[in-house]
Amino acid sequence: MRILVTGGAGFIGSHYVRTLLAGGYEGLGGYEGYTDARVTVVDKLTYAGNRANLPASHPRLDFVHGDITDRALLLDLLPGHDAVVHFAAESHVDRSVESAAAFVHTNVGGTQTLLDAALATGVRRVVHVSTDEVYGSIERGAWTEEWPLLPNSPYAASKAASDLIARSYWRTHGLDVSITRCSNNYGPYQHPEKLIPLFVTNLLEGEGVPLYGDGTNVREWLHVDDHCRAIQLVLTGGRAGEIYNVGGGNELTNRQMTQRILDLCGAEWSSVRHVADRKGHDLRYALDETKIREELGYEPRVSFAQGLADTVAWYRDNPGWWKAAKHGAEERTA
C-alpha cells in the first residue's frame, strides 16, 4: 500500500502521517490494513508547513518539497501510489480576507491539478479534505451534506470550489473520490495563527488575547485525532462521489473557549483584549454527522476537557516549536 499525502507537513496532515506511520493508536484502532503503508508527503512548506512536524527519517516515509500546482511533478510522483489524501491548502480565514490570490491558486487550481494528475496516472482512490465553512453560517440546527453551499470568506469559497471540482471528477470521469467536511480542529502542532494556539502561546508569553467582536461566535471543536480517524474511515469505506460531514465535537462560543483557555493557563479575564471583528465573521458552525456515524461507524473518542488540557500542556512543553512559527512569521510580514 502506498499513500500520497498532500500538505503532510501542516497541522492535520502531519497528525495523519505520524499516526499512519505509528500504526494508529493502541486500543483505538482505525488504521488496520495500513500498518505497513508507505507514505509520500508532498508539501510546499509555506509558512504553515514545517518539516519538523514529521519524523526526520522513517523507513516508510518519503518527503518531497513540492507544490500541488506543479502538474509535471505530480505526474512524476503519483505512479505506483494506491491512494491520495489531499490536505494541502491555504487554511487561515484572516489571511484570505487580507489577500485571496494564494487561496484560489492552491485550493482551487492545486486541487484541480492534483485530481487531473490522479486521473492521468490511474490512482485508485482519493480523499479530498474539506471544511464545514463551505456551508456558510447557521443560526440554529446543523448542516447535513445536502445543505446548499454558501461560503462567506474567500477561504471558504475556495474550498467550496475545490469540493465541486472534486465531485465533478467523479461524475464526469469516474474518479473514486470522496469529500470530508470537518468542523474546527484543535490539538498539538497547530500553527499559532489560529485561535487556540494563539491564545495559549500569548498567555504563556504573558500577553493578552485578542477576542474578535463580542465573542459570541460559535465553533464546534473536534480533536485532530478524531478528524484523522474519520478521514481514514472515509478512505477505506467511503463511497465515490459522496460527501461526509465530520462533526460531533464540542460547541462553544469564543467567549466560552477563551474562559477555558484562561483557566488552563491560570489567567484572568483581564487578559482579554476586545478587538475589531473579523470582516464577514461567520456566527455559528454546526454539523450533522449522522451519515458518517451510520455508514462508517465514526465516533469521536477524545474527551474535550482532556484533549484541550493536553493541547495546552503540549504548547507549554514545546516553546521551541511555536516560537519559531509565531515570531518567524511576524518577522517575515514586518
Residues that bind ligand DAU (CB under 6 A): 91-93, 131-133, 183-184, 194-195, 198, 210-212, 217, 219, 254, 278, 285
Tell me whether residue 132 is one of the annotated catalytic residues: yes
Contact flag: residue 229 with ligand NAD (CB under 6 A): no
Instruction: Please list the alpha-helical segments (H only) found in the chain.
Output: 11-22, 71-77, 93-98, 101-103, 111-121, 154-173, 195-204, 224-237, 254-265, 290-296, 304-317, 319-333
CB-based closest residue to ligand NAD? 10
212 binds, among ligand NAD, ligand DAU, none (CB under 5 to 8 A by kind): ligand DAU
Question: Residue 80: CA atoms inside 13 Å, Cβ hemisphere, count?
Answer: 7
CB-based closest residue to ligand DAU? 131
Strand partners, 84: 4, 126
Among 43, 67, 90, 132, the active-site one is: 132
254 binds, among ligand NAD, ligand DAU, none (CB under 5 to 8 A by kind): ligand DAU
Element of type H or E holding 184: strand 184-186
Element of type H or E holding 65: strand 61-65
Closest alpha carbon to 108 in 100, 99, 120:
100
The answer to whether the CB of 246 falls within 8 A of the CB of 181 is yes
Closer to ligand DAU by CB, 106 or 183: give it: 183
Tell me whether residue 70 is one of the annotated catalytic residues: no
Total residues at interface with ligand NAD (CB under 6 A): 31
Contact flag: residue 43 with ligand NAD (CB under 6 A): yes
106 binds, among ligand NAD, ligand DAU, none (CB under 5 to 8 A by kind): ligand NAD
- Of positions 87, 103, 285, 322, contacts ligand NAD by CB under 6 A: 87
Site for ligand NAD in 5-24 (CB under 6 A): 6-7, 9-13
Q: Is the dihedral of CA 122, 245, 243, 138 positive or negative?
A: negative
198 binds, among ligand DAU, ligand NAD, none (CB under 5 to 8 A by kind): ligand DAU
Distances (CA, A) of 76 to 38, 88, 120, 123, 289: 17, 18, 11, 13, 37
Closest alpha carbon to 235 in 9, 92, 11, 24:
24
Binding positions for ligand NAD, rule: CB under 6 A: 6-7, 9-13, 42-46, 48-49, 67-69, 87-91, 106, 110, 129, 131, 159, 182, 184-185, 191
